[in-house]
Amino acid sequence: TKYIVPAGCPHVNGFKVDNWKQNLRVIYQCFVWSGSVESRKRKAKSCICHLCGAHLNRLHSCLYCVFFGCFTKKHIHEHAKNKRHNLAIDLLYGGIYCFVCQDYIYDKDMEQIAKEEQRKTLRSALVDCFVSCGLCDAGVGEKYSTWEPTKRELELLRHNPKRRRITTNCTIGLRGLINLGNTCFMNCIVQALTHTPLLRDFFLSDRHKCEMQSNSCLVCEMSQLFQEFYSGHRSPHIPFRLLHLVWTHARHLAGYEQQDAHEFLIAALDVLHRHCKDDNGKKANNPNNCSCIIDQIFTGGLQSDVTCQVCHGVSTTIDPFWDISLDLPGSSTPFWPLSPGGDGSTLNGESHLSGATTLTDCLRRFTRPEHLGSSAKIKCSGCHSYQESTKQLTMKKLPIVACFHLKRFEHSAKLRRKITTYVSFPLELDMTPFMASSKESRMNGQYQQSVDVFNNDNKYSLFAVVNHQGTLESGHYTTFIRQHKDQWFKCDDAIITKASIKDVLDSEGYLLFYHKQFLEYE
């Protein structure tokens, strides 16, 4: 492959004399990237073509004198020819044009100045933006710059010449897992985790730096697992080391009996979280202030509001969560009605077809105001006595990956059974109605959600579904995972087969994994 290095040209030498650096900075500050109010006013007034007065047409400024001219109408070209001023700057993007070379040139020193000036402007613009702009959903922060390899990375690339090309139908990342004796409860979760995009990116870019002395770091094992999955090997992987580590760190899951996949998910996240370091290099043992990759991806905030029925004072707590466990119709606790006065309006494009329960129904029930009866009075700090109250749960902070656990296994004192009620779930989910911020309108009985075109922050896409077939005593777990945008595969231990979207959406559903559609840089 040939590499083209952005180059300067010899014609800039005439410009690079005396105080040229400062002059160039001034041009950038005043006319290209105006940061302050006065410079913006100046830019607004003066940035018009000196020949025709237009402000569009790719305005350029001469670098040798005060002249602005259209590029499209060739007014700047005229000036360059007449005055023999051979350099101009594009006022939109800051590029330097050389009329001798007849192209934009990339001089190292000038590029450096441009970058610095742009960074300065962005910092001050950030403050302005937050102050005056309510609707802005484009984060104005550090400018995105394309990746350029470091010397070390170039070395690595040269020493490892094998390249893998990701096409739309390649199966990289898909690999079966051997069942080591009722270990499908572990396999199904591993499939979901290895296909969680952010987690995959974290491990494939080598972001885990291990500080554990022993060989029992689960995060390292996870990293190894990703290497196996993305190696291109098509034979099923045998996860014996993973199983051994799980037995070591989560004793309650040890043994060859069938375990609950949901329990395994929570235990795995817990051990990974404990073995991760947070960004400050400290061990992740503060559950409220950790920024390890597990917390960054999976941790959300659940708000609980307890309202006193007498004084209407509200007591609020926020707890972290990794998953949302949802009750289903058919369990011993009554499901319907969702809440007093609730109607069957459509949400998330689902409607009540022949009484099929939807995920949205379950979420509405989860976030409904619940009357805590007279036997469960709360001590109200406003009334200074025990009063009846209502409790309501809502989402305060949504995680990047939201996991919904449909409570299909009932373990009450009287019975142990599996609830096989069909629950329909969507490919795309909008969590806005269940947010703490939407609670106001909900309490007024408004279930219709006005579509906010500008707010994409609560939209999620389904990417993995764990299913359980069989009974409580003897059952089997499988996972549907999403590869690329619209391709789904069924992972049944060692066997991977192509699946249709219909297969996925018609399945019973036990654990549903959703990923945020749009991510903002923090």
Partner 1 sequence: MNKDSQMRAAINQKLIEMGERERLKELLRAKLVECGWKDQMKAQCKDVIREKGLEHVTVEDLVVEITPKGRALVPDSVKKELLQRIRAFLAQHSTL
**CA-wise closest residue to 343 among 335, 332, 351, 354:** 351
Number of H helices, E strands in the chain: 14, 23
Is-contact 379 386, C-beta < 8 A?
Answer: yes
> Smallest gap, in angstroms, from Cβ of residue 435 to partner 1?
22
Assess whether 184 carries a catalytic annotation: yes
Q: Which of 62, 70, 98, 184 is catalytic?
A: 184
Residue 20: count other Cβ atoms within 10 Å of its Cβ.
Answer: 16
Q: Cβ 446 to partner 1, closest distance in Å?
A: 24
- Asked if 291 and 302 count as a contact pair (C-beta separation under 8 A), the reply is no
Pairwise CA distance, residues 263 & 221, whole Å: 19
Report the C-alpha gap between 488 and 510 in whole angstroms: 17
Q: Which is nearer to partner 1, 102 or 374 (CB)?
A: 102
DSSP letter (8 states) at residue 449: P
The residue ranges that bind partner 1 (CB under 8 A) are 2, 4, 34, 37, 40-41, 43-45, 47-48, 53-55, 95, 102-104, 125, 128-129, 132-133, 135-138, 140, 453-454, 518
State in angstroms the smallest separation of the CB of 243 from partner 1: 41
Closer to partner 1 by Cβ: residue 44 or 314: 44
What is the sign of the dihedral through the CA atoms of 89, 92, 93 and 94? positive
Three-state secondary structure call for residue 420: coil
Alpha carbons 66 and 30: distance in angstroms, whole number: 12
Q: Which amino acid is at 383?
A: C
- CA-to-CA distance for 304 and 93, rounded, in angstroms? 49
- Which of residues 135 and 413 has its CB atom nearest to partner 1 in the complex? 135
CB-nearer residue toward partner 1: 104 or 409: 104
Residue 423, CA atoms < 13 Å, CB-side half-sphere? 26
Buried b (16+ CB within 10 A) or exposed e, 464-478: bbbbbeeebeebbbb
Which of the residues 50, 244, 371, 476 is marked catalytic? 476
Tokens linked to 307: 């309202």
Q: Please give the structure tokens belonging to residue 71.
A: 């590029």
Comparing CB distances to partner 1, the nearer of 240 and 518 is 518
Rank residues 129 and 220 by Cβ distance to partner 1 and give the closer one.
129
Do the beta carbons of residue 493 and residue 187 sit within 8 Å? yes
* H/E element, 387: strand 385-387
How far are the Cα atoms of 180, 198, 303, 314, 340 from residue 387, in angstroms, in the given order? 54, 46, 21, 12, 21
Q: Cα(227)–Cα(233) distance, rounded to whole angstroms?
A: 10
- Which of 296, 277, 288, 275 lies closest to 199 in space, CA to CA? 296
Least distance (Å) from partner 1 to the CB of residue 4? Answer: 6
Q: What is the token pair recorded at 291? A: 């920024």
Least distance from partner 1 to the Cβ atom of residue 44, Å: 4
- What is the H or E stretch that residue 184 is in? helix 184-194
Q: How far is the CB of 515 from partner 1 (least distance, A)?
A: 15
Length of the chain equals: 522
Please, what is the minimum distance in Å from the beta carbon of residue 497 to partner 1? 30
Query: Of 36 and 224, which CB lies nearer to partner 1 in the complex structure?
Result: 36
Return the number of the residue (133 or 314) whose C-beta is nearest partner 1: 133
Task: Measure Cα distances from 383 to 43, 378, 392, 434 in Å.
Answer: 61, 11, 20, 29
C-beta of 7 vs 495, nearer to partner 1: 7
Whole-number Å distance between alpha carbons of 104 and 82 = 20
Task: Look at residue 98 and give its three-state secondary structure.
Answer: strand
Place of tokens 């699946």: 499
For partner 1, which is the closer residue by CB, 45 or 159? 45
Per the annotation, the verdict on 47 as an active-site residue is no
Tokens 């404990």 label which residue? 274
- Active site positions, annotated: 184, 476
